[in-house]
Amino acid sequence: MSRSKTRGFTLIELLVVIAIIAVLIALLLPAVQAAREAARRIQCTNNLKQLGLGLHNYEGVAGALPPSMCMKGSGTTITWSNGWSVHGRLLPFLEQGSAFNSINFTLRYSVPENTTIGAMVIAAFLCPSEVNTQPRATTLARYGVNNYGWNMGDWYVWGGFAGAANGAPFQVNQSRTLAAFSDGLSNTVVAAEVKTYQPNLGNCGGLANVNNPNAQPSPAADPYTVAPEYNAGCTLATTGHTEWVDGAVHESGFTTAWTPNRRIVRTGGDQSQALDLIGSRESQGGPTFAAVTSRSYHPGGVNVLLADGSVRFIKDSINGDAWRALGSLRGGEVISSDSY
């Protein structure tokens, strides 16, 4: 009698097939991840474009851009502040009219009458690449986080009620017209990406070496020489950019003190924490000098919104002086388009 042979895979053949599949996965996975990141970056760009449209529509109605926040007082004494950010003032131009109409702008964002709005998660304020988008909970309220900061200065943010104006598009109690952008709308950054839950050093009581609006440290200088406060004398918090309602620079702004994604860590501290630095916060009456760096999860740089409404991708390798020049609205710098 003839025996029928059973056909099947040998162990070696099976291992070869598994190895081939593993190689294909290894080759395809980076491509898939790159495609997903490209899609996220496009959505992030669209968010900034929407903010740009909202900003121009606001200017068309009000005749000027919104202030970073509003305060009343004298010297460094604040007698009234509502703290509301540029984000909050743009709500009706971002299809959030109902939320805007629910805000009582005569009161601070943190009072019970306003905390419902402050807890809102607004998609236009979040980059799809952000890994930490959940609202921040405090003992009294919850706050929606934010991935887009408004340009509030280089190091100099605010000089108090009697201080000089900064050179950026946004400042406390200042509503600048587009005509004030003498450097050109296409040469001035109005907003850039930031990370949520950003570690920052605050309550420094001022900065020892950075205290003159007319004498700014070079962007190429050693950070620890410029600001020894990076290593001592300040309080560490991990809540930067976790309140889109707050007009303070560490919550809804950025500065051009350092180039995008610049990593500065505390010696002997957590080396994974790239730090921002706020010498004295606006809510303390100023003067405020700060290094709140633009950051993103996109490889190699950040998306920025220019004053003409266009969006550009700025590389981490941009020259520091060119970055400062893009942050100034009337500095008179000459910037070549190949500089960024």
Residues 6+ away with beta carbon under 8 Å from 159: 166, 213, 286, 287, 288
More confident position, 38 or 239: 239
> Using H for helix, E for strand and C for coil, what is the string for the chain?
CCCCCCCCCCHHHHHHHHHHHHHHHHHHHHHHHHHHHHHHHHHHHHHHHHHHHHHHHHHHHHCCCCCCCCEEEECCEEEEECCECHHHHHHHHHCCHHHHHCCCCCCCCCCCCCHHHHCCCCHHHCCCCCCCCCCEECCCCEECCCCEEEECCCCEEECCCCCCCCCCCCECCECCCHHHCCCCHHHCEEEEECCCCEEEEECCCCCCCCCCCCCCCCCCCCHHHHCHHHCCCCEEEEEECCCCCECCHHHHEECCCCCCCCCCCCCCCCCCCCCEEECCCHHHCCCEEEECCCCCCCCCEEEEEECCCCEEEEECCCCHHHHHHHHCCCCCCCCCHHHC
| pLDDT score for 35 | 74
Provide mean pLDDT across the span 92-116: 94
Q: Structural domain boundaries of the chain?
A: 42-339
| pLDDT score for 33 | 67
The model's pLDDT over 236-286, given as tens digits with 9 standing for 90+, comes to 999 999 999 999 999 999 999 999 999 999 999 999 999 999 999 999 888
The residues that bridge with 277 in the sheet, in sequence order, are: 201, 291
The model's pLDDT over 202-214, given as tens digits with 9 standing for 90+, comes to 999 899 999 999 9
The residues that bridge with 80 in the sheet, in sequence order, are: 72
Confidence of residue 178 (pLDDT cuts 50, 70, 90): very high
pTM for the model: 0.90
- Cα Rg of the chain, angstroms: 24
Residue 135 reports pLDDT greater than 70: yes
| pLDDT score for 7 | 66
Rounded distance between C-alpha atoms, residue 36 and residue 259, angstroms: 26
| pLDDT score for 5 | 58
Burial class of residue 46, CB neighbours in 10 A (0-12, 13-18, 19+): middle
